[in-house]
Amino acid sequence: MAKANKTSVKGHSSRALAGKKIDRVSIRMYCLGTGDCLILKFLSGSATRFTAMIDCGSCQGTAEDFKPYIQHLASYVGKHLDLLVVTHEHNDHVNGFAKCEDIFKQFMIGEAWFAWTEDSEDPKGRARQLQEKRKKMKQALGKAIRAMKVKASAFESRPEEDRYKQAIVDSDKAFIAGLDTLAEINLSVGGEDPGASLPGMLKIK
């Protein structure tokens, strides 16, 4: 991350590394599905000196699917993170924080780092501009998906038969599947404003 918005939480600090000789790093990836969740433990001998976590999410899976992994993760780090890094706001990187909020509420987190694009106080205003642009793009994507599905459904239900109809129906379905994938990554679900921040991002902030 070229820039980071650092937020200290509950009095811990990344100074946990100070004066400690680190001789190895253990890296563990929790495969929640199609997404990212990494734990890095910096060790001195057998002692853990610093623990960092990068992202937590997946495009697939319910809260019940996630929980066994996050419960194991919580046990593995002792519900303590010196550093949490959230790389960007896509569901496959942040929705674990919302789906397993009850577990993450028990964590002690030293610092949380977000990309500079999340800094609403960015002195040049670029972050705010990007946030507004992102909101409009998400709203447009949600509107396009709804319109495309209505149009495709109406066309498929037409009674007339012609040799091109099935090809068009199949093309529509493939295109909508692609739009749905974009929606899974970028949009909130459950009828919420598609331009709103994702629940996982709001929870971890």
Which residue, 203, 202, 183, 205, is CA-closest to 194? 183
Give the model confidence (pLDDT) of 15-58 as tens digits: 555 566 889 999 999 999 888 999 999 999 989 999 999 999 99
At 164, list the tokens. 């091109």
pTM across the whole model: 0.77
Torsion angle of alpha carbons 119, 124, 130, 131, nearest 10°?
A: 40
Confidence of residue 2 (pLDDT cuts 50, 70, 90): very low
CA atoms of 56 and 54, how far apart (whole Å):
7
Give me the numbers of helices (H) and strands (E) for the chain, helices first please.
6, 6
What H or E segment, with its residue span, contains residue 94? helix 91-99
Question: pLDDT higher for 69 or 146?
Answer: 69
Give the model confidence (pLDDT) of 135-170 as tens digits: 888 888 888 888 889 988 888 887 777 777 888 888
Q: Where do the domains of the chain lie?
A: 4-118, 126-204
The total of other beta-carbon atoms located within 10 Å of residue 55's CB is 23
- Give me the percent of the chain exceeding a pLDDT of 70: 87
